[in-house]
Structure 1
């Protein structure tokens, strides 16, 4: 896999952390960064998000919030109780880093390339303006990788 070749960039766009209490964690990060605390919001409803976890559609949702830090986005995720990559991570490993994300131009091609190299898709879904795929890269890279593809040229 060559992220730079496939995506046009090897810059990490996002780091995501799963948490038990998004409001408490948001306040802690806002104080740490000396920034205004962003609002959290629910991910889209299941019929909009089309979330698939390990080959099965799921009603999983999460409270999420973003800190925009220069060229990196910090995402906080508090998952609901439905099966998901987020819930699994929180239950098995506790709070902490969930994934690092890269913006890609051809998510399906990148996903197929990674799967061919033994890095299976763990979760996929759509969001307003794009789609994502969480790839199970833990064996090789020691953390999950998320591929992000936006409909618009510029990412939010």
Structure 2
């Protein structure tokens, strides 16, 4: 791969769960840290978010555990179509993606992954950054999240 993803950019493990309260408490107890806040994102029409090339509309419960140089994110999707719902329906609880910060090479990395045959499952933009979920689970056993910066 010409635009390789470096280990130094590893920032995230995202786990999809069907019960975020239980998962957050269990992970916190395992590490001896406080139970993280659970944020609720209600479904909304967001022109800066797509799922499989179409405008996305879904809700999500999210909790973040800081783990040294990276984070563990817990995601509980609602019933609407999303990358997280797709994963949960197909696999049950499990690691949805690994996140990597690649800086200004984001477009080059994502473009090369697309040319390699990996579909862009979800693309989201927010002030100062973006996130792109690359559908790589069939080959890698996990999806990739490519971000310019965390």
- Flag whether TM exceeds 0.5 (same fold): yes
1-structure distance, mates of 2:130, 2:41: 12
1-structure distance, mates of 2:148, 2:38: 22
Report the more deviating stretch, 41-50 or 81-90. Answer: 41-50
In the alignment, what sits opposite 1:117? 116
1-structure distance, mates of 2:12, 2:58: 21
Report the more deviating stretch, 31-40 or 118-127. Answer: 118-127
Deviations for 1:112-142, whole angstroms, at most 9, x for unmatched residues? 1110111121111134542100001123322
Residue-pair matches, total: 147
Compared with structure 1, are the counterparts of its residues 37 and 127 closer, same or farther at alpha carbon in structure 2 (3 Å cutoff)? farther
8 Å contact from structure 2 (residues 40, 61) kept in 1 = yes
In the alignment, what sits opposite 1:82? 80
Unpaired runs of at least 5, structure 1: none
1:65-80 matches, within 5 Å, as: 65-80=63-78
- After TM superposition, the score normalised by the length of structure 2 is 0.88
Instruction: Give the C-alpha shift of residue 19 in structure 1.
Output: 0.6
Report the more deviating stretch, 13-22 or 101-110. Answer: 101-110
**Alignment RMSD, CA only?**
1.9
